[in-house]
Amino acid sequence: MNLRPYQSEASDAIFAEWREHDSTLVVLPTGGGKTVLFADVIRRVFPRRALVLAHREELIFQARDKIQRVTGLHADVEMGEYRAEDSLFGAARVVVSTIQTQCSGGDGGGRMTKFDPARFGVLIIDEAHHATSPSYRRVIDYYRTNPALKVLGVTATPDRADEEALGQVFQSVAFDYEVLDAIHDGWLVPIEQQMVHVDGLDYSGIRTTAGDLNGGDLAAVLEAEKNLHQMASASLAIIGQRRALLFTASVKAAETTAEIFNRHREGMASWVCGKTDREERRRVLSDFAAGKVQVVCNCGVLTEGFDDPGVEVVIMGRPTKSRSLYSQMVGRSTRPLPGVVDGPETAEQRKAAIAASAKPSCLVVDFVGNAGKHKLVTSADILGGKVSDAALELALSHVQKSRGPVNMTEALDEAEEEVRQQREQARIAEAARRARLVATARFTTQSVDPFDVLELDPVKPRGWDQSRQLTEKQRSLLAKQGINPDGISFSQGKQLIAEIFRRWEGRLCSFKQAKVLRKHGYDTDVSFTEASATIDALAKNGWGRNAALEAAL
């Protein structure tokens, strides 16, 4: 199986990080092929053994089958009645297990004690945002008694709180490739967002429990017959003939909403929950895949481990404050149809193929009521991991004012450009002000903002970097360029260093040159040679700008 370019880059980045660290994290969106990625890692570490941990049974057999297809290695499952071969001469090269299995049974220490940590070379944690929980920490600590063990965590879009906690489990982030990256590169379909206002929908009195809306409070609001009817009626008007998943806050809401749908058109909807018989769930999803059922209402069972590229609409009948949960629900619809993006070689070709396919985009429907003090997640949040907060707020305001679906990829790109132009206009005005100042008097500044000098917008720091400090090597590199590293965060330091290397490779002016140019109101994105000529001319002119100097330059 050939890796996509970003998967290959991620795989290389993992091994690069492992040269300096024992554990690292990769952020990859739902539908981005994380199982293929860590299967490639398993292939590359062979003959060392690998242990893959997941937290849901549905993910275990999918992971085992895909690992075997990608690597050609035999993988065993350790879960329930399934036992992985662990004899000295017949041990499975790959063991796939649930966290529950690892922690339960045995002689009080869990089934993990069946395995000798020294016999594994790599531990891979799927859905790694769960790795901060006590059960995961216990298992990770057990296997890390092997000092040679390397640990890899893979997750989609984590919550901000999860990000900071993940920084305590994983020593670095090897690769961060998110939903918006994948859409821009033509691997996932664009996301459209539609807000539907529902009269009487009031979340303001709902309590917050463990960082999200309290399940019981939320169910009480969303099980109200009036609210369910309004949500179902709006959904019917929006989805047309498209296949849709509806996520609900309770089993009762799933069952009742499916019943309301079926009053409009008999047999168009089914529902499933965690207690639905396996055979019944399999039948419902099979009918859904075959087009016999248009809408599946579900309570908490299709957020992970369910892959059907034909899903075109996700209806959020379950609002959340969790970016991770919202991302998983939306991720059920972001995959393109099979074969659409496998042939084209460029991003533009892939995006054109998606646009011409039977599924050119996916639609996310959110129901808007009185949120009160709650900050509810929307598609803007899961797309905006690397987007500035100002652009996020601007894009979301446009969506809220619209009465129809809005392409969120375009909305965020346009908002970023609008914010960039506003900042650029401010910079131009500031440069003009400085130019007027230096024309009449010399001045010095004691403190220089390197982001202002290099005309960069400081990156939005990610939670996993919050507690990290620049290394002495990084601080030294910045200092040699004339940048004071004190007070610069780890994320921003990495950004400045990346810009320094970009300038070196492109033979652009150095930071020290850019500082002089910026001070005198000149463009800083020029070549080293051009910057030298401009600075020499300024010096000869007594560091003042005039018409003769501008004509000479």
The answer to whether 153 and 23 have CB atoms below 8 angstroms apart is yes
Handedness of CA 510, 515, 520, 525 (dihedral sign): positive
Cα 460 to chain centroid distance, Å, stands at: 14
Please list the alpha-helical segments (H only) found in 273-377.
Answer: 278-289, 323-330, 347-355
Taking alpha carbons only, the member of 362, 240, 232 closest to residue 297 is 232
Distance CA(137)–CA(144), nearest Å, equals 10
pLDDT at 442: 41
pLDDT tens, residue by residue, 358-401: 999 999 999 988 888 888 889 988 887 777 778 888 888 888 88
Handedness of CA 99, 101, 107, 113 (dihedral sign): negative
User: Measured between alpha carbons, how far apart are the two ends of the chain, in Å?
Assistant: 55
Distance CA(197)–CA(135), nearest Å, equals 41
pLDDT at 468: 82
- Quote the tokens at residue 48: 């060392």
Handedness of CA 23, 25, 30, 31 (dihedral sign): negative
Distance CA(73)–CA(94), nearest Å, equals 7
Q: What is the DSSP string of 62-127?
A: HHHHHHHHHH---EEEEBTTB-----TTT--SEEEEEHHHHHSSTTTT-GGGGS-GGGEEEEEEES
Structural domains of the chain in order of their starting residue, each with its CATH number: 5-177 (3.40.50.300), 191-414 (3.40.50.300), 442-552 (no CATH)
pLDDT at 444: 39
The residues, any chain, with a CB within 8 Å of residue 422's CB and separated by 6 or more, are: none
pLDDT at 149: 96
CA dihedral angle for residue 38, residue 42, residue 144, residue 78, rounded to 10 degrees: 90
3-state DSSP call for residue 406?
strand
The answer to whether 525 and 506 have CB atoms below 8 angstroms apart is no
Please report where in the chains the tokens 């034909």 appear, as a residue: 310
Length of the chain, please?
553
List phi, psi (to 5°) of 237: -70, -30
List phi, psi (to 5°) of 294: -90, -35
This prediction has a pTM of 0.83
The residues, any chain, with a CB within 8 Å of residue 550's CB and separated by 6 or more, are: none
Q: What is the DSSP string of 438-495?
A: HHH-----S---HHHHTT-PPPPPPGGGTT----HHHHHHHHHTT---TT--HHHHHH
- Residue 374: CB atoms within 10 A of its CB come to 17
Taking alpha carbons only, the member of 172, 122, 176 closest to residue 20 is 172
The answer to whether 282 and 301 have CB atoms below 8 angstroms apart is no
Distance CA(226)–CA(200), nearest Å, equals 9
- Residue 149: CB atoms within 10 A of its CB come to 19
pLDDT at 445: 38
Q: For the chain, which ranges sit under pLDDT 50?
A: 439-446
CA dihedral angle for residue 162, residue 134, residue 64, residue 275, rounded to 10 degrees: -90
